[in-house]
Each structure stands twice: as C-alpha cells, then as structure tokens.
C-alpha cells in the first residue's frame, strides 16, 4: 500500500509543477513578467519537493510511473486551465461569401472592433473580416458568426496587440 501512496504523491506533485509550468510559459509568451515569475517560483518549489521525494524512494518503479503520469496529466490540466481563463488576445479572421455585412454589423453592435478586407478566393471575390479580441471572448464571437453563417470560415491566431482599440479598451 505504501508503494502506491508514494507513486500517487509523486504524481500529484508533478501534476502541480507541470500545470504551473504550462501557465508560466503562457505568461512568458504574453509578456506577463510578474505572473511568470510567481508561477515559476511555485513550479520549481513543487518540482524540488517532488525530486527530493523521488530520490529518497528511487527503489520503487511505481514512483517513476507516477512521475511520468503526473507530467502528462499536468500538461493536460495546464492547457485546460489556460483555455478556461483565456489569457491574452487572439486575432479572429472570418471569411463569408454572402453574410459579410450582417456579421460585421452584428460584431460592431456588440462593440467589437472590425476590419474588412476585400480578397479573392478559389471561387471568386470574398471579404475577410478581422477582429482582435480578448481570448475569453472567442467562444462568443465564434457562436455569433456560426449563427449568422454556418458555412463561414473562422480562423484564430494568438496575437499580442501593441496599441489601438481592443474590444472597448485602449491597449
């Protein structure tokens, strides 16, 4: 029984430190220095405790499995948390053949900044609608577009706006 308890402890420690590491990476990419530093401090602190415990119990192969399982589960949990809290901004591009005006007006009425660019696709002229939004707003924008044009093309790209209008706030 002690063998499995030991492996579970190591797995939980790894889940914590890898989750924090994933969030720290996102903070670094988003240039959130303070957040990155704080999460990095706790990430390494938990990792050191995990390594100390593993070295003291290295004779147990289940601990190694717990270490690996914790790493994998920590990555999954870190990404899930990041997706839930929506750190940063995304640029959303929408291509609609027939509903461009309705999409643009709907987004603008919801206070989203929108830019429309004429383009040429495989089947002729189209419009590319672009907006830069807080990542937390992506599901809302996607749902609005899908409701108006279920066949429209939607693409999102992480971005770091430098200045200008971002959904109701100057950056």
Q: Which two tokens stand for residue 160?
A: 């770091």
61-87 as b/e, with b when 16 or more CB fall inside 10 Å? ebbeebbebbeebbbebbeeebeeeeb
Lowest mean pLDDT among 59-63, 115-119, 149-153: 59-63
**What digits encode the pLDDT tens for the residues 120-130?**
888 888 899 99
Cα distances from 167 to residues 48, 147, 158, in angstroms, run 41, 21, 15
Q: Which two tokens stand for residue 152?
A: 């429209």
- Domain ranges within the chain, ordered by starting residue: 2-85, 89-170
Does residue 165 register a pLDDT over 60?
Answer: no
Average pLDDT over residues 32-58: 91
In CATH, what is the architecture of 89-170?
2-Layer Sandwich (3.30)
Q: What is the per-residue pLDDT for 135? A: 87
Does pTM top 0.95 for this prediction? no
Q: Which residue has the higher pLDDT, 164 or 85?
A: 85
Three-state DSSP at 110 gives: coil
């Amino acid at each position: 029984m002690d063998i499995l308890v030991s492996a579970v402890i190591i797995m939980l420690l790894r889940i914590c430190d890898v989750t924090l590491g994933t969030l720290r990476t996102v903070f670094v990419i988003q240039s959130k220095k303070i957040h990155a530093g704080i999460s990095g401090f706790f990430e390494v602190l938990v990792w050191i405790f995990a390594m100390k415990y593993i070295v003291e119990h290295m004779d147990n192969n289940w601990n190694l499995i717990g270490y690996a399982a914790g790493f994998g589960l920590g990555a999954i949990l870190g990404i899930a948390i990041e997706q839930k809290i929506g750190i940063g901004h995304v640029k959303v591009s929408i291509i609609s053949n027939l509903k461009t005006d309705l999409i643009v007006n709907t987004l603008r009425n919801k206070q989203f900044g929108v830019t429309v660019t004429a383009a040429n696709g495989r089947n002729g002229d189209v419009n590319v609608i672009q907006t830069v939004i807080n990542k937390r707003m992506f599901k809302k924008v996607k749902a609005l577009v899908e409701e108006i044009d279920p066949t429209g093309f939607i693409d999102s790209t992480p971005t770091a706006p430098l200045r200008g209008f971002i959904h109701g706030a100057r950056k």
